[in-house]
Amino acid sequence: MPAPFDEIEIGQVVSLGVTPVDPRGTESFCSHFAPSWDVSRGAPDALVYALWARLDLEAAFKWPQTKRLGVDALRWMRNPPVGELLRGRMTVLAKDPVGEDKGVVIAQHDLLDEAGRLVFSCLTRSVFACKGRLPN
């Protein structure tokens, strides 16, 4: 990836990059959005989602993805500690053409900790342009 819809393969795994659970960012996030959260418990679920969303947005910006249709089946497995480095990945589960110029890709997104344990996962549905129909 990035690849147009017609070149995406089911089972394909794509790196979304890495992001730390930054101490200053965590403190700031908690003071604004989760004031009752004890940071010693790790990053709150909403921050874990925000970290994934940032990785996803930065990766998708480089792809021929034209629209995100949905984010479903959100699962939080653990709250990573401050300082942990999280790794994002996307696995293509299915794809369905929509006309001649685009298609829908269904994918599972995972955030893994440094030990490779699942921290967060979700399913997404996104529209990708076909080869030859990519926006300029």
> Would the pLDDT of 35 be above 90?
yes
Instruction: Show Cβ contacts of residue 93 under 8 Å, excluding neighbours closer than 6 positions.
Output: 10, 106, 107, 108, 123
**Paired sense of beta strands 118-129 and 102-112, if any:** antiparallel
Reported as a pLDDT band with limits 50, 70 and 90, residue 99 is confident
27: how many CB neighbours lie within 10 A of its CB?
12
Share of the chain above pLDDT 70, in %: 96
Mean pLDDT for all residues in the chain: 94
pLDDT band at 134 (very low <50, low <70, confident <90, very high): low
**What's the predicted TM-score (pTM) here?**
0.91
Which pLDDT belongs to residue 87?
98
Domains and CATH numbers, the chain: 8-129 (3.10.129.10)
How far does CA 72 lie from the centroid of its chain? 12
pLDDT surpassing 70 at residue 42: yes
- Give residue-wise pLDDT tens across range 73-90: 999 999 999 999 999 999
Contacts of 73 (CB under 8 A, 6+ apart): 121, 122, 123
